[in-house]
Amino acid sequence: RAAEWQLDQPAWSGRLRITAKGNTAFIKLEDKTSGELFAQAPVEQFPGIAVEGVTDSSRYFVIRIEDGNGRRAFIGVGFVDRGDAFDFNVALQDHFKWVRQQSELARQAQDLEQGPKLDLGFKEGQTIKLNIANMKKKEGATGSTRPRPAGPGGLSLLPPPPGGKSSSGERPASLPAPARLPGTPITDSLLSWPQPAAAPAADVWGDFAKASG
C-alpha cells in the first residue's frame, strides 16, 4: 500500500527512463540534472514480479532493482502526474507485445521450414498446355466477313446482260456509268468503254413479235 510510505519525504527523486535490449526492458532511475544512473530494474516479463502495482493507487509501483552483482532490492516508486504513470504502463505493455509478436513470427517460420516444401518447378520432360482457342476466336471475330471479288481498281463489276445485240442489229441501251465508291479512284484507263450510238425510235422488240415459234 502506497499510503504506508513516507510520500512527503521520498528517499530519492529524479527521472525514469525505459530502454530495451533484445527481449528485456530496463527501468532506469537517473539523476534529473546529470543523468547519472541511480538504479535500474531489468524486466523480462510484464506483468511480473519485477514490476507490480500497489493496491491503493494507480500512480505507485514496486520495482525490483539489481546492481549487476546478483544483489536485488524492492523499492517503491511513484509519479506526481497520473499521465506519467499511464505512459509508464503503456511503454512496458508495448515492448512485451512486440516480444510476443516476434516470438510468434519465429515459430511460424520454424513450422514452415520443418513442414513439407512445395516444389513449383518443372520436372524433367514435363510440359503444360495453353488453351488459346478463345483467343483466336476473338481475334478473328472482326474479320469474319467474306471479301467480295473486286474488279480493276477495287470496283465490283457485274457482267453485261445477255443479248448484247438484237436480231435487227441494234444495240441495247447504254449501261449507266459505274458508281464511284468512297475512297476508290476510277481511272479512264480501267473503265473507258465506248459510248454506244443513240438508239433509233423504232421498237427494238419488233423482230421478236414477227418471229415464228
- At 115 the pLDDT is 66
DSSP codes, 92-135: HHHHHHHHHHHHHHHHHHHHHHHSPPP--SPPTT-------HHH
Give 43: exposed, middle or buried? Use CB within 10 Å, 0-12, 13-18, 19+: buried
Percent of the chain residues past pLDDT 70, beyond the cut: 60
- At 95 the pLDDT is 94
Gap between the Cα atoms of 91 and 134, Å rounded: 61
Q: Give the CATH class of 2-114.
A: mainly beta
pLDDT higher than threshold 80 for residue 58: yes
Is residue 89 classed as helix, strand or coil in its secondary structure?
helix
| 24: CB partners within 8 A, 6+ apart | 42, 43, 44
Average pLDDT along the chain: 76
- At 79 the pLDDT is 92
Q: How confident is the model at residue 189 (pLDDT cuts 50, 70, 90)?
A: very low
- At 204 the pLDDT is 57
The residue among 194 and 8 whose pLDDT is bigger is 8
Is residue 48 classed as helix, strand or coil in its secondary structure?
strand
Average pLDDT of span 24-33: 93
Percent of the chain residues past pLDDT 90, beyond the cut: 36
pLDDT higher than threshold 90 for residue 173: no
pTM: 0.51
Question: 119-150, pLDDT tens digit by residue?
Answer: 777 777 778 777 777 665 555 555 555 655 55
Question: 151-168, pLDDT tens digit by residue?
Answer: 555 555 666 666 655 545
pLDDT higher than threshold 90 for residue 106: no
